[in-house]
Amino acid sequence: MMTLSQAYQRARARWQARPPQERTLWRDARNRFFKNRLATVGLSIVSLFAIFAVFAEILAPTAYDHSVLTEALQFPTLRHWLGTDQVGRDLLSRIIYGARTSLFIGFSVQVIAFSIGVPLGAVAALRGGRFDFVVTRLVEVMTAFPGFLFAIFLMSIIGAGINNVIFAIGITSWIEVCRLTRAQFLALREREFILAARAYGAADRHIFLRHLLPHALPSLIIMLTLGIPSAIFAEAGLSFLGVGINDPIPSWGKMVGESMGYIQVFWHLGLFPTLMIALAMLSFNFVGDGLRDALDPTMISA
């Protein structure tokens, strides 16, 4: 009968005898990313926020709308670790549920922005001519309007609500995605492998899916990562102004806005949600910077 030591030695020998993995762009990028300490810390914090968002019902001490008026405006205690708000709701619970709101809005806004920006930028670069002229002029016109002010204008028309917030921010966030996609595709379409594919009679769709998009994907991934905190910050600003998320759905920005009338005495109402916004912004920026360094082709060693 094989002993535990013999089984370990056999497994170790088998592991050491395995063929070396072939180096690829994504494997090298992964290794460089995890060597970046700030990027790793940022990814860990983002993962923690994602756990809060997914398992909020399990992790939160109470429901986000559970109110006990006799416990209103309490400072942090053993019963309420972060205190309570002006209507007696547990602040820790609302912050945990607020992570769900922020991440949902951040990712949903990027879905809208990339669904509009990538196709427009790609077609403009590939077709050129009048379509490229129209898209370029449209981007210039939209750039003339400050995105956040335009979002406030839209919210004043369509009203508050989480779906309206996503629409208002998303419809103003596609401009940079379109501009980046067009620039990337214009630089790539004159490369030798694209010209060779055209010479072989490849269709535009094949060139887009098999050649252009994979090469532009690293830059788009970086923009996606950096766009999520921008959307979270925009939602926080809208909710702070009172045109964002409706009660009782928790939002970090709305919690900061609601604390303004009490902040001189009850400091905890605005401090903790503000720290969450700052931590989310910082973490996503660390991840974006790490991805930018990891996916930079000039950093790939031979």
Q: What is the mean pLDDT of each run of 10 residues along the chain (302 residues)?
A: 58 56 67 87 93 92 88 87 89 92 92 92 85 88 84 88 91 90 84 77 74 81 87 86 84 84 85 91 89 67 39
Q: Which residues are within 8 A (CB) of 121 and not within 5 positions of it... i.e. 6 or more apart?
A: 135, 177, 178, 179, 180, 181, 182, 183, 184, 185
Contact, 143 vs 175, CB < 8 A? yes
Distance CA 212, CA 218 (A): 11
Q: Residue 302's pLDDT is what?
A: 36
Total Cβ atoms within 10 A of residue 192: 7
Find the angle CA(162)-CA(168)-CA(172) to the nearest 5 degrees.
145
Contact, 287 vs 29, CB < 8 A? no
Q: Residue 25's pLDDT is what?
A: 62
Q: Residue 4's pLDDT is what?
A: 53
Q: Residue 94's pLDDT is what?
A: 92
Chain centroid offset of residue 103 CA: 7
Distance CA 229, CA 203 (A): 37
DSSP string, 110-146: HHHHHHHHHHHHHHHHHH-HHHHHHHHHHHHHHHHS-
Place of tokens 């269709």: 203
Q: Residue 169's pLDDT is what?
A: 92
Instruction: Kindly report the pTM of this predicted structure.
Output: 0.82
Q: Residue 90's pLDDT is what?
A: 92
Distance CA 99, CA 273 (A): 10
